[in-house]
Amino acid sequence: MSVMTDVPKEIVEMMARLSASPAGVRHHGIGDAVRPVFFQTEYEEFLYATDGGTLFLIRFKGKTYALTARHVFTGNGFEPNRLFVTREKFAKKGTPPAPITGLYYPSSPRGAAEGSDISDICLIEFDEDLAPDFFMGSPYDMDAKPVGSSVAGHLLAVYGVLKQMTTIIHPEGKQGDIDIGYCQLEYTDTTLTTPDAILREAKAEFAAPAFSSVTGISGSPVYDKTAGALCGMVVRGGMSGKKSSIRFIDMFDIVRFLEGVGSGAPSVDYRKIVPEYRG
């Protein structure tokens, strides 16, 4: 696999909020689109490895991509060209990975986007010859299903992979079992004010969590259960006791980036209304 890295796509200024979809939409399938960030190693006896992280599959303008957080590739010793995106959510032994041709990141943000986490978006491009049904209908179809921005007080669901609950067991030096810690975590949008026009905030308190860390959910899709729309991607998260907080990139900004990549534009300039923004 050859991978293009750090392809410049400039994101600047801000633009108007996406309209929320009608309430009551419940069948969305975003959980089916989630995959772990796995890498293929050079060692036959230890074929796969992970340092945490989540990605999710989408369809946009008729093309299949994957989205994740750029920082899942940094500091873990794995090269992006070893990324292993499985065909199925629960991969079967011997099934081929999706062929990857490029990674795209926003760069040189200006205006209110300068210094924000907009540059943490990573768009994964697959080979143009990838069969339309390669992922068996699991990508979230943004051309047909609701996409929007969350609002303070809305109930959210994060679909991701918890590193703490994921194990790769190598018994007796042989490739062993892989248990993926898929999760669905419920949060509430708590964005009353923000110094960052790109990120929104959400908090949760879990009654009896079977985990003590949310490490690994970076790159997870955030679904607005109140509005019934895909509304963002997690880029930060933490947990203390039963309480957890996350920051997620607003889907509006991700859509603008997708439009820029899809059109081959060298830069994307847009405006955005963020009532909570306090610059």
Does residue 124 belong to any structural domain of this protein? yes
Range of the domain at 125: 4-13+21-267
Does residue 227 belong to any structural domain of this protein? yes
Does residue 276 belong to any structural domain of this protein? no
Does residue 92 belong to any structural domain of this protein? yes
Per-residue confidence of the chain (279 residues) as pLDDT tens digits? 122 333 333 333 333 333 334 444 445 889 999 999 988 777 666 667 777 899 999 999 999 999 999 998 876 666 767 888 989 888 776 778 899 998 999 988 888 888 889 999 999 999 989 998 999 999 999 999 999 999 999 999 999 999 998 876 655 544 556 788 999 999 999 999 988 889 999 999 999 999 999 999 999 999 999 999 999 999 999 999 999 999 999 999 999 999 999 998 888 888 888 888 887
Backbone region of residue 209 per phi and psi (left: phi > 0; alpha: psi in -120 to 50; beta: other values):
beta
Does residue 277 belong to any structural domain of this protein? no
Per the structure, the count of domains in the chain is: 1
Does residue 275 belong to any structural domain of this protein? no
Question: Residue 204: phi, psi to the nearest 5?
Answer: -150, 155
Does residue 136 belong to any structural domain of this protein? yes
CA-to-CA dists, residue 134 to 55, 83, 139, 231, 265, angstroms: 16, 17, 10, 25, 28
Does residue 179 belong to any structural domain of this protein? yes
